[in-house]
A and B are shown apart, each in its own frame.
Chain A
Amino acid sequence: MSAAPTLPAFTWLRVFARLFAVQGSYNYEVMIGNGIAYAAEPAFRLLPGGRGGPAYQAALARHSRYFNSHPYLAALAVGALVRAELDGEDPVRIERFRTACCGPLGAAGDRLVWAGWLPFCSALALLAYGAGISATGVVALFVGTYNVGHVALRAWGLRAGYREGLKVAAALGSPVLRQGPLHVARGVALVGGAALPLTLHRVRADHPFSIGIELALAAGLAAALSRWQGRIDGWRVGVALLVLFLLYSVVR
């Protein structure tokens, strides 16, 4: 593969900024397909014939079709697809690549972000709350920590995708994506484990009832939900218990 053509800094910036809106027209037919075309469009202006030329229009038409992946790792796809278009890859191969990379990008992103980084940052914020940190501190810690990872992942994805082009599997083999979820999951276990008793402690601080009953209820519920995992949503069970308690409180 030849070296990647250099993109002007302003083009990078425009593509990167548009990636944050990649799900802006999410629908059940093309999913984020239109968002992919929207994000990549500034780079397609560099295709032979320029803006509005046949290559530009063909690329936009191709990339506004069905596509779905994790929104943050869509950056990797956009980088790779821009590179493929600028390299003049065979459209049939580009189409096959688009189809093949949806699933892996979705799976890798879900593991790293939705099942890793986000729960970790949530647990960290709960821990901060439990430790008595102020409202401003808790919000700043959560938003700041989460978005360091979020923005870095999108920026890395765009650069790595553009560097690797259609050989993006190499980028997906990055230790951050392969081993990252494992370490983050350990972090969730440690921080989440510490956060749970501290959160309960602070929530009840001004309204203590019976720590034995509270702990038994929380631990029993957590154990039951763990056992029924995959068969029932924990939040629905929580809502049902909450309704029962409030009804009891009202009619008592």
Chain B
Amino acid sequence: MTDVGTLALLTMLGAVVGLDFVSFPQAMLARPIVASTLAGALCGDAGAGLMVGVLLECFALETMPFGASRYPEWGPASVAAGAMASLNPGDVHAPSRLIPFAVLAGLACAFVGGQTLVWLRRFNLTVAARYRDELAAGDAAAVVAVQWTGLVVDFGRAGAVTALYVMVLFPLRNALAGMLHPEMDPIAVAIVGSIGVGVAGGAVWKVVHNTKGYQWWLLAGLLIGGTVAVVI
């Protein structure tokens, strides 16, 4: 289990990246590759956080927030997942064994987080409705109140869900990791990596397939990357 200080730091990080995701300032600190790595660094293993962040980023590439559609919330989920893979498990489980569970936990939390964003938007609506007459009259104080209430509540929401994820996931973490068949240890990360890269491949194709001549650019990239991977 995490100590109170680490939990507080993770909660604060989750609140910051959760606020960043939609409300302020959308600098993409909420992307898994950032949030999970920062969480890993806070917990003493930036490398493990980065690996989970990279794998979650592969999935996140597939879910861009087009036109106000509903999407998973990656920030707090990535903080929890990065921490899950980085904090010393306190027993014999190899950190690599935690990676698949951390990725899955991150994906599940991102889905839950997306739902809390829907609740936040409904809450924002009730606040705006409370000020409806003042807003219609052009009252600047009402405009500021509605805006700041949304920002503050989003910050609190993101911190709360991060704390919740960490407190729920950590007791589960060691129990689940202990259930993994030892023979699967060496291949678990490789398989999860393949699934993540496959999803990212589909996402890249989705982004570029309407672009004239995309095949050649993609092929050139694959050849360069493939060659370097073989050589190094």
Contact = CB atoms under 8 A, between A and B. Distances in A.
Interface of A: 20-21, 23-31, 34-35, 37-38, 41, 51-52, 56-62, 64, 68, 71-72, 106-107, 110, 114-116, 118-119, 121-123, 125-127, 129-132, 135-136, 138-139, 142-143, 146-147, 150, 182, 185-201, 203-204, 206-209, 213-215, 217-226, 229, 233-235, 237-239, 241-243, 245-246, 249-250, 252
Contacts of B187: 207, 209
Given A189-B214, A190-B218, A199 B199 contact: no
A118 B64 contact: yes
Contacts, number: 368
A138 B41 CA distance: 13
A61 B136 contact: yes
Nearest to B205: A226
Given A129-B33, A193-B224, A246-B104, 19 more contacts: A24-B147, A27-B124, A27-B125, A27-B150, A28-B121, A41-B140, A68-B68, A122-B33, A185-B208, A206-B189, A208-B190, A214-B193, A214-B194, A221-B194, A221-B195, A222-B197, A225-B62, A242-B100, A249-B184
A225 B193 contact: no
A188 B221 CA distance: 9
B207 interface: yes
B107 A60 contact: no
A235 B72 contact: yes
A29 B126 CA distance: 10
Interface stretch (B7-15, B21-29, B163-171): B21-29
A72 B68 CA distance: 14
Contacts of B22: 23, 26
A28 B125 contact: yes
B201 A235 contact: no
Contacts of A21: 23-25, 147, 151
B28 A121 contact: yes
Given A119-B64, A193-B224, A217-B198, A57 B191 contact: no
B199 A225 contact: yes
Given A186-B211, A203-B51, A203-B54, A135 B37 contact: yes
B76 interface: no
Contact of B23 (A24, A131, A139, A143): A24
B215 to A, nearest CB: 8
B61 A194 contact: no
9 contacts: A24-B24, A119-B203, A119-B207, A150-B28, A193-B220, A213-B194, A214-B191, A221-B198, A225-B198
A64 B107 CA distance: 35
A115 B55 contact: no
B149 interface: yes
A98 to B, nearest CB: 15
Contacts of A225: 62, 198-199, 201-203, 205-206
B192 interface: yes
B62 A233 contact: yes
B180 A115 contact: no
A28 B127 CA distance: 12
A136 B38 CA distance: 9
Contacts of B179: 250
A252 B147 contact: no
Of B143, B149, B181, B223, which is in contact with the most chain A CB atoms at under 10 Å from its CB?
B143
Nearest to A36: B143
Contacts of A24: 23-24, 147-148, 150-151, 154
A185 B212 CA distance: 10
Given A21-B147, A203-B54, A147 B200 contact: no
B150 A26 contact: yes
A225 B61 CA distance: 13
A199 B34 contact: no
